[in-house]
Structure 1
Amino acid sequence: MTGTDNQTPDNRMTGAEIVLRALKDNGVEHLFGYPGGAVLPIYDEIFQQEEIKHILVRHEQGAGHAAEGYARSTGKVGVMLVTSGPGATNAVTPLQDALMDSIPLVCLTGQVPTSLIGSDAFQECDTVGITRPCTKHNWLVKDVNELAAIIHEAFRIAQSGRPGPVVLATPKHTQISTGTDT
């Protein structure tokens, strides 16, 4: 049994489980990332399943460039996972590169809890504002029940028209809250 098979009888899952389910639904087989506190719930789910292979990099910028290379060589969307704050800012260079070269990327970042946004909390930054100029679209996903739909939309946008990068910033409480993947 994998982590994303642990649905309760009413089909409720944690946000982290929803993330993995949505990635699988979008055909993701490889994920490039660097762990950090704001994305540990997602990492917990990654290591409870075998369908998506996680490639550990030594720096968030490396995750982005590796995801770019993967997308270029396979024709699939490259996916990267980084933590909040400096993890997200370290992803800016590969996001800009992907935008300029029309490479489809989905960048999942952590974020501090919604209640701390704007308070200069530890590893907090305005991920949406910082990545706006270097993405096709970006989201701050506060509601766990919107997570699956937004991830599916992110993959659609990354591949449609002129391909390019998208960012989903997900507060840690959204990853551990329970909701549905509809």
Structure 2
Amino acid sequence: MSTFTELLEKRRSIYVLGTESKYSTQEISDRIGEVVKQVPSAFNSQTTRVVVLFDEANHAFWDHIYAVQKDILEGEIWDMMSGVMTGAKNGVGTVLFFEELDAVKKMPTNVVRQEAYKQNNNANAQYAVWLALAEMDLGATLQHFNVGYEQGFDKGTKALFDLPESYEMLAQMPFGSVEQEAGKKEHIETNVQTRVISTLS
């Protein structure tokens, strides 16, 4: 098992994915399920839901995303993002991240804070799953296609997989074997990003 810091460094955005894995689809989905179960959430609200897609379901999802986005994206953005979509089909699978809005509304606070906590809950799950995939030697990226509950942008996805109307899709994470390593990552200075204060002036 990796040390925590090594795992943080290992987790990168990997766009060129393959289908090789030493883990079965059952082992991968079980691991993801256990990780999401242990992720903290505001008021222990447990509002996050994930759907793990493999094989035909994974291909169908990215075909759907491609069909929608080809009428929206143009020029260089389309050239870049269409490659992400087609590349996602070449991987092992995809994790879809949702928030259960009925559960969100039950959090004992106001609507503004519910929205903030919802985003925090889901972000915690996204990062935890990404680290878990990295630990299993699987590369991944975090994508945000067809998100927008109020606008109905995620209705097609929910219809495709017969998911509840109360699910709001916030992100997708295609994953698979690492067929091309990520490039060098630049970091700002640590003392700029992290300040340490122990006394008051």
After TM superposition, is the score higher than 0.5?
no
Give the structure-1-normalised TM-score: 0.28
Larger radius of gyration: 2
Higher relative contact order (CA 8 A, sep 6+): 2
Give the structure-2-normalised TM-score: 0.26
